[in-house]
Amino acid sequence: MDETSPMKSPVLGFSHLQLNARDVRASVDWYCAALGMEVMSEHGDVIALRHREARLVIVVSPGEPDVDHSPIDHLAFAVADGPTLEAWAAYLRELGLNVPAVVDELGKPSLQLRDPDGNAVELVAPAPR
């Protein structure tokens, strides 16, 4: 989008990195020890870690990293709120992009897209209060 676009991008900044891990607990322990991260939340076998000072979140989920592909599951960018996310999804559809519905992802509104190379890109809003 450029400055002639009728709608301003809602992206506020980087949200999180999600990693597939063969052993979630071993990965969590490693990131906590090596980077000083702490467990932010656990949703079943998915664990979110945070580093407060760096404002970094890494979500570790079970999965078999493929040697031919990156263990990075997706890139995620923060948006202000659910209504902003819904409006952006509608705008992208108007532009002709293939855009799925906004879904609830671990209690947060989420728009899950694919870039032209098939990389997963998520726009995520904070959980409703």
DSSP state of 22: S
pLDDT in tens, 23-47: 899 989 988 887 788 999 999 999 9
28, containing H or E segment: helix 24-35
**What is the pTM (predicted TM-score) of this model?**
0.63
At 7, list the tokens. 């709608």
For residues 69 and 59, give the distance between their C-alpha atoms in angstroms, rounded to a whole number.
Answer: 18
Average pLDDT over residues 58-71: 76
Average pLDDT over residues 57-64: 86
Region of residue 32 (phi > 0: left; psi between -120 and 50: alpha; otherwise: beta): alpha
At residue 106 the predicted structure's pLDDT band, cuts being 50, 70 and 90, is: confident
Indicate if the alpha-carbon torsion angle 84, 87, 89, 92 is positive or negative: negative
Q: CB of 17 within 8 A of CB of 57? A: yes
Asked whether residue 66 carries a pLDDT value surpassing 70, the answer given is no
Domains and CATH numbers, the chain: 14-124 (3.10.180.10)
Q: Which amino acid is residue 92, in one-letter code?
A: L
For residues 124 and 112, give the distance between their C-alpha atoms in angstroms, rounded to a whole number.
Answer: 8
